[in-house]
Amino acid sequence: MSGINKAILLVAGLALAACSDARWDDTNAGNGGTGIGGGSTADPSSPAYFREAIGDRVLFLVDQSSISPEAQGILDGQARWLTANPAYVVTIEGHADERGTREYNLALGARRANSAREYLISQGVAASRIQTVSYGKERPIEICSEQSCYNKNRRAVTVLAGGAVS
């Protein structure tokens, strides 16, 4: 809306130290997996390889935020890739299925994103390279109202930013 005055009159609250860093500015946060995705899966240093071959997302059980053994395998691969490709930073997006209230799901998505972040840090990725955001139930990728869809929507997606490709 053109009539809206966007002036920011007040800035308060907590800011993560890393977040004055401009490296994330080009991140197209909003949907899981809509960040940088260029290159070919044949190139192990490409974002496409990260997304397709390693896997950019891990899934969670109902109302859970713990990292499953399967998720550990994916995050191990992500950590190795990020170590090998230090120019990249990531935003981890936490998501929930639709079977919860909006507010609770935002908090749950924050837990999931943080679980994935903590795991990557434990595998040697610098904390300053990883920020998190929760979308709660606002950005489902599967739209049916059945377990098969809910299973895929309960996710934490590691979205790349920065790096050589823009």
Partner 1 sequence: MRNAIATVLLGLAMLLPVGAVQAQDGPLRIEITDGVIEPLPFAVPDFIAESPAAAQYSADIARVIAEDLVGSGLFREIPKVAYISPYTDFDAAVNFTDWKAINAQALITGSVSLSGNRITVRFRAYDVFAGQELGSGLQLSGTTDGWRRIGHKVADTIYSRLTGESGYFDSRVVFVSETGPKDDRKKRLAIMDYDGANVQYLTNSASIVLAPRFSPTGDRVLYTSYESGFPQIHVLDVGRVQRRILSAGNGSMSFAPRFAPNGHTIVYSQSAGGNTDLFSMDINSGNPQRLTSAPSIETAPSFSPDGSQLVFESDRSGTSQLYVMPVSGGEAKRISFGQGRYGTPVWSPRGDYIAFTKQNAGRFHIGVMRTDGSEERLLTASFLDEGPTWSPNGRVIMFTRETQGASGQARLYSVDISGRNLKPVKTPDGASDPSWSPLQN
Which positions touch partner 1 (CB under 8 A)?
1, 3-16, 18-20, 24, 27, 29-30, 65, 98-104, 106-108, 110-111, 113-115, 117-118, 131-135, 138-145
Are 149 and 140 spatial neighbours (Cβ–Cβ below 8 Å)? yes
CB 108 within 8 A of CB 136: yes
Q: How far is the CB of 52 from partner 1 (least distance, A)?
A: 20
Give the integer Cα–Cα distance in Å for 48 and 71: 19
Comparing CB distances to partner 1, the nearer of 20 and 166 is 20
Q: Are 36 and 140 in contact (CB under 8 A)?
A: no
Nearest distance, CB of residue 158 and partner 1, angstroms: 15
For residues 65 and 85, which CB has a smaller minimum distance to partner 1 in the complex?
65
With contact defined as beta carbons under 8 Å apart, do 94 and 109 qualify? Answer: yes
Question: What's the rounded Cα separation, in Å, for the pair 44 and 19?
Answer: 28
Nearer to partner 1, 7 or 42 (CB): 7
What's the closest the beta carbon of residue 30 comes to partner 1, in angstroms?
8
Least CB distance to partner 1 at residue 42 (A)? 29
Cβ(79)–Cβ(123) below 8 Å: yes
CB closer to partner 1, 50 vs 135: 135
Residue 18 vs 165, nearer CB to partner 1 = 18
Spatial separation of the C-alpha atoms in residues 160 and 166, rounded to whole Å: 10
The residue written with tokens 């899966």 in the block is 41
At closest approach, how far in Å is the CB of 118 from partner 1?
Answer: 8
